[in-house]
Amino acid sequence: MAKRNMHQATMQSSNSPQPALRTTDSPEESPGNKDSPEPKEELSPGAEPAEEAGEGSEEPRDEMTLDINRFRKPGEKTFTQRSRLFVGNLPVDIPEEEFKDMFAKYGNISEVFINRERGFGFIRLETRTLAEIAKCELDGTVMNNRPIRIRFATHGSALTVRNLLPAVTNELLEQAFSEFGPVERAIVVTDDRGRPTGRGIVEFANKAAARKALEQCTEGALLLTNTPCPAIVEPSEHFDDEDGQPEKLLHKTQNTIRNES
Amino acid sequence: MAKRNMHQATMQSSNSPQPALRTTDSPEESPGNKDSPEPKEELSPGAEPAEEAGEGSEEPRDEMTLDINRFRKPGEKTFTQRSRLFVGNLPVDIPEEEFKDMFAKYGNISEVFINRERGFGFIRLETRTLAEIAKCELDGTVMNNRPIRIRFATHGSALTVRNLLPAVTNELLEQAFSEFGPVERAIVVTDDRGRPTGRGIVEFANKAAARKALEQCTEGALLLTNTPCPAIVEPSEHFDDEDGQPEKLLHKTQNTIRNES
């Protein structure tokens, strides 16, 4: 793991640290987990965050140092559309170098695009998690008195697959759809016990491949196993269940809706 | 932002860094983004990861130092079930202190539970993103010649809400469901343009509250606005679309299925 670096205490953050809010322990809860059928949880006496606040540390920690290599997983494709961030509310005159430098610490970057007129940009990081870290740390950073806004860009070439047999693995799914074009990610969705749900996600590297897969699987039949059970393929919809619709955005979205209806 | 710390170069990782795999640029792609209606993307000449690899840095970077306070968002509840990690394949004799120390760098911890007999544990971190970082960096860490396995614990008290009017915000959703018990997170799911989908997620702090909400909304009618449009409430299912069903787990899950059928 990365060498720790917890003695520096810097407070450059615009977010004030939050006190631990309520956390309720639910002994009757059963985390149906792949590796553990319903363990009974003894709750440690010090289960209240308030008491645990100092847990495992003598000095206050305001920084964590991570080993970037741990965020590069063997076999994981890099610089995919899943690792692509939209950056809004940028200073209109931001130099490309300054934009790149903001993300430089999160590993390598790719496909940098800036629209200075409209004050937004796009950038790809190596992996999804690195992009999540950058999003979380940089979102709301104040530049020229305006907080920049960072979100994941919509994946333009993702498909949902249904009717998959239990024997289908991520690897088989990827292999089968690679005939239509480069696959960025193929996942057989499992339930909370690791059992396949029959649903899958296939993310292509470009729209053309996604379109081709969609057409050929709709007109013809794609068999992933030697059982006559054709996969049902549909375009994936992109939803935001992270930020959702907060008050502060309501007015904006209401206008959007009004303008479009 | 956190003070950078890129001059140290440590390679303690068990994952070898991956070279950038293919990334295909898709100019026809239209990232339908809240803040930007379909920008045309000029692709910078250096859009190939290979060329960008050194981007923004003169020396190799293997560490990133993050300001933990940036991962504590105002208003975000801490130590929720969403920030709860399952840790499997632990050394059977692991001391609680050693277990806690593994997670100490990621901020404060709570609700530490270890089952030594079966070699697994649970732990809560302050926020979801901090838990994601810990999961990504620690998953696969070899202890006593076995890689530990880290996953998010299933949220035992989550509900899906449908039939929400466009005027309903995260805040209103939380307020409305708080009458049944402590709400950890309430999100009105939006589409890729920020328009509400009519669906919402409500995560309670305990099962009792979720059950109460489920019962009362099924028997009676919960109105979030003064329009007679009752919310439809169902238990949320937990799916894994991150790891899915890789080859290496197939045998295991097949057995599970066989044993259960």
A138-181 pLDDT, tens digit per residue, is: 999 999 999 999 999 999 899 999 999 999 999 999 999 999 99
Candidates B70, B101, B206, partner chain A, best to mutate (most A CBs within 10 A): B70
Residue from A48, A66, A115, A142 to probe the interface with B (highest B Cβ count within 10 Å)? A66
Interface-testing mutation among B87, B96, B190, with chain A (most A C-beta atoms within 10 A): B190
Q: To which residue do tokens 């009519």 refer?
A: B198
Q: Is the backbone of residue B55 left (phi > 0), alpha (psi -120 to 50) or beta? A: beta
**Taking CB atoms and an 8 Å cutoff, what residues of chain A touch B62?**
67-69
Structure ipTM over 0.85, yes or no: no
Shortest CA distance from B123: residue in chain A:
A47
DSSP chain B: -PPP--S------SSPPPPP------TT----BTTBS----PPPTT-SHHHHTTTT-SS---EEEEEGGGGS-TT--SS-GGGEEEEES--TT--HHHHHHHHHTTS-EEEEEEETTTTEEEEEESSHHHHHHHHHHHTT-EETTEE-EEEEPP-TTEEEEE---TT--HHHHHHHHGGGS-EEEEEEEEETTS-EEEEEEEEESSHHHHHHHHHHHHHS---SSSSS-PPEEEEPPPEE-SS---HHHHHHHHHHHHHH-
State the smallest CA–CA distance between residue A173 and chain B in angstroms.
10
* Torsion of the alpha carbons at B99, B105, B106 and B109, rounded to the nearest 10: 50
* Residues on chain A touching B196 (C-beta within 8 angstroms): 245, 253
pLDDT digits (tens, 9 = 90+) for A12-29: 333 434 333 333 333 333
Digits of tens for pLDDT over chain B (261 positions)? 444 433 333 333 334 343 333 333 333 333 444 444 444 444 444 334 444 444 444 445 589 999 999 999 888 899 999 999 999 999 998 999 999 999 999 999 999 999 999 999 999 999 999 999 999 999 999 999 999 999 999 998 999 999 999 999 999 999 999 999 999 999 999 998 889 999 999 999 999 999 999 999 988 878 777 777 788 999 998 888 888 898 887 766 555 555 544
Place of tokens 């339908």: B32
d(CA A86, CA B196): 20
Nearest CA in chain A to B47: A111
Burial B210-219 (b: 16+ CB within 10 A, else e): bbbbbeebee
Cβ of B100 within 8 Å of Cβ of A1? The answer is no
Instruction: Compare CB distances from B31 to A156, A241, A256 and report the shortest one's residue.
Output: A156
